Amino acid sequence: MLDYEALKEAMGDLEEDVVLEIMNKVMEDGGEQAGQAMKACQEGMNIVGERFATQEYFVSDLIFSGELMNEAMDIIRPALLKSTGESMGKMILCTVEGDLHDIGKNIVKAMLEASGFSVIDLGIDVKPSDIVRTAKEEGITIIGLSGVLTLAIDAMKATVEAFKDAGMRQDVKIIIGGAPVNQAVCDVVGADSWAVNPADTIKMCREWSHAA
Ligand code: B12
């Protein structure tokens, strides 16, 4: 049985041994709780963020937390990625301009791929014009924008505007995600939807793909 709070706290405290031990236990138990374990780690990363904001942690701790999160995800990845065998078409995913965070994006990418999407990952710090150009060249209608910095909200909005300026806004569905995203942010950005976990992301993108 997963001790959700213990995992969340261990991640927040950056206790590598404890985090990895719990993740290994999740897999030994059959992997059913991998999704919950991922959520606990994500909440633990929020604790890291809070401690960084109050100067209890430093940039080196942020860097270490990123490495620990990746290590933890590597252990449970096989349980998270249950391939559906379906083909859902292509979509674009990237972290928006000015933002270099990609741990969440990479998790979402892996889970979208397991769900049948062929994901064109444009990487981090991606300019609106590059996203619009790729969508045009590849004929892509689903766009996922990731960002965890507050300034990512401006970059997401600029990306939506770039699609409008190119006369393509009606042709694409845009979903945004990342820690600061909620309905109010979605309204400001002018995106079609938002999500802060891979399950909701996949559900929305699959609906759009089926409707296309
Ligand atoms: C790890 C980390 C780093 C690492 C990132 C490593 C990497 N390769 O990504 C490093 C050390 C590089 C880093 C750097 C910086 N960071 Co930092 N970082 C974090 C931290 C602790 C965790 C982020 C994370 O990985 N979370 C875990 C993942 C799994 O969660 P997630 O990203 O939210 O993703 C999930 C969902 O949101 C969703 N999702 C994600 N993407 C998408 C996309 C779509 C389309 C959808 C639908 C869903 C979706 O699914 C994911 C899985 O469930 C956060 C704190 C926080 N609360 O987020 C601070 C935080 C984001 N960082 C912060 C800061 C200030 C910085 C720096 C400026 C520090 C500095 N002085 O240099 C730099 C900025 C560099 C830049 N220009 O981007 C601040 C941002 C403040 C703000 N309001 O803007 C935060 C909030 C910490 C804080 N409280 O102060 N950081």
The verdict on 24 and 121 lying in the same domain is: no
Q: Output the domain CATH number for residue 159.
A: 3.40.50.280
Give the residue among 8, 83, 109 at the shortest CA–CA distance from 49: 8
The verdict on 30 and 116 lying in the same domain is: no
The verdict on 134 and 168 lying in the same domain is: yes
Cβ-based neighbour number of residue 170 at 10 Å: 7
Residue with token string 């991606």: 126
The verdict on 100 and 181 lying in the same domain is: yes
The verdict on 186 and 93 lying in the same domain is: yes
Query: Mind listing the pLDDT tens digit for each residue in 22-68?
Result: 999 999 999 999 999 999 999 999 999 999 999 999 999 999 999 99
Among the candidates 31, 61, 80, a domain finishes at: 80
Question: Is 52 close to ligand 1, i.e. is its CB under 6 Å away?
Answer: yes
Give the nearest ligand 1 atom to 149 CA. 84
- Compute the distance from residue 28 Cα to the ligand 1 centre, in Å: 30
Query: Mind listing the pLDDT tens digit for each residue in 78-124?
Result: 998 876 777 888 999 999 999 999 999 999 999 999 899 999 999 99
Residue 42: both structure tokens together: 């994500």
Q: For the chain, first and last CA: distance in Å?
A: 41
Amino acid identity of residue 153, one-letter, is I
Number of domains in the chain: 2
Q: Whose CA is nearest to atom 77 of ligand 1?
A: 99
Question: Is 49 close to ligand 1, i.e. is its CB under 6 Å away?
Answer: yes
Give the nearest ligand 1 atom to 148 CA. 61
Q: Whose CA is nearest to atom 90 of ligand 1?
A: 53
- Compute the distance from residue 87 Cα to the ligand 1 centre, in Å: 30
- Compute the distance from residue 101 Cα to the ligand 1 centre, in Å: 5
The verdict on 101 and 161 lying in the same domain is: yes
